[in-house]
Amino acid sequence: MNTTARLAVFGGALALLAAGGFAVGKAAGPVAAAEDTAHGEGHAEMTAAADLPGGLASSSDGYTFADPVAEAGRFTFRITGPDGKPVTAFDVEHEKKLHLIVVRRDTSGFRHIHPELSPDGTWSVPLSLPAAGSYRAFADFAPTGGKPMTLGVDLSVAGDYRPATFAPSRVATVDGYRVELAGDLTAGKTSPLTLTVSRDGVPVTDLQPYLGAYGHLVALREGDLAYLHVHPDGEPGAGPQVKFAAEVPSAGTYRLFLDFRHGGVVRTAEFTLTTGH
């Protein structure tokens, strides 16, 4: 499966990070969407969305990540189209009509989940955010007849926010599995990455397909959380190696999250890489 995902970087993207937010209080209850702003200038995100990397805008090409509500441990939202009405027809991409990524802005608490779509265009999924802080939710989808896109909104959980920090890392351990990352991210060039999965020192050669692939990789640029979602490169294999081709446009630090399935369970391995120039 040959897939290379590209992000574009434009000056001023950081000025738009406050756009598309909504607040989540301590008590369970409805959550109202916040007004689109960018350092006090209303609707800046709407006018500049076409120039933003994936996930930095809540609206693009007439489509909007709309009506977010958190209530009783569930998150609901809609994708509205150019006519302002909820979209109800989506292409299936990697076995799902929409992929939802939720992560705190310090890049902790990563989740890759899949909401269910009701006939009226409302998406719904169980979601609990116990740790205080600001989060970003990314909706990755392709409306039928439209192009694939990623839209994002901010979420805020009240409380004592203590941001996490992450040192550069190429080895991740999760539930007894060890995942090693080989390769470098080079700004402006396609970067081959190889992830090798083992358990108790033994290579895992029977990875199970998950959403039509043997691994899914999300990369987020630290700071603005520009979003990059790539899938395995070349012929699929069951491990222990899963290979990717990713292209990042700028120097900086990126957090990478690999979803892999083994023994019927999906696990996430996390890495931190700084690009070459």
- The predicted pLDDT at position 34 comes to 38
Instruction: Evaluate if residue 229 carries a pLDDT over 90.
Output: no
Helices within 38-107 (DSSP H only):
44-48
Q: Can you tell me the mean pLDDT for 200-229?
A: 90
Confidence label for 63 from pLDDT (cuts 50, 70 and 90): very high
Residue carrying the six token digits 């630290």: 222
195/204 Cα distance (integer angstroms): 12
Q: Where in the chain is the domain with CATH 2.60.40.1930?
A: 171-274
Other C-beta atoms closer than 10 Å to the C-beta of 165 total 8
Instruction: Tell me how far CA of residue 106 lies from CA of 118, 136, 163, 223, 238, in angstroms.
Output: 32, 10, 6, 8, 32
pLDDT attached to residue 120: 97
Mean of the per-residue pLDDT values of the chain: 81
pLDDT at residue 1 greater than cutoff 70: no
**pLDDT average, residue stretch 3-15:** 33
Q: What is the pLDDT of residues 253-275, one digit of tens each?
A: 999 999 999 999 999 999 999 98
Say how far apart CA 228 and CA 148 lie, in whole Å: 13
Cis ω before 240 (30° cut-off from 0): yes
Q: Which pLDDT score, from 0 to 100, does residue 52 have?
A: 61
Euclidean distance between CA atoms 78 and 111, whole angstroms: 19
More confident residue, 139 or 186: 139
Continuous H helices in the chain: 44-48
Give the C-alpha separation, 245 to 234, whole Å: 9
The 3-state DSSP class for residue 13 equals: helix
Q: Mean pLDDT throughout 212-236?
A: 83
Answer CATH for 4-157 from 3.30.70.1110, 2.60.40.1220, 3.40.190.10, 3.40.190.170: 2.60.40.1220
Percent of the chain topping pLDDT 90: 57
What percentage of the chain has pLDDT greater than the value 70? Answer: 78
pLDDT of residue 124: 97
Tens of pLDDT, residues 153-202: 998 888 999 999 999 999 999 999 999 999 999 888 888 999 999 999 99
For residue range 26-40, list pLDDT tens digits in order: 333 333 333 333 333
Q: How confident is the model at residue 277 (pLDDT cuts 50, 70, 90)?
A: low
CATH topology of domain 171-274: Immunoglobulin-like (2.60.40)
Q: What is the pLDDT of residue 111?
A: 94
Q: Where in the chain is the domain with CATH 2.60.40.1220?
A: 4-157
The CA R_g of the chain, rounded to the nearest whole Å, is 18
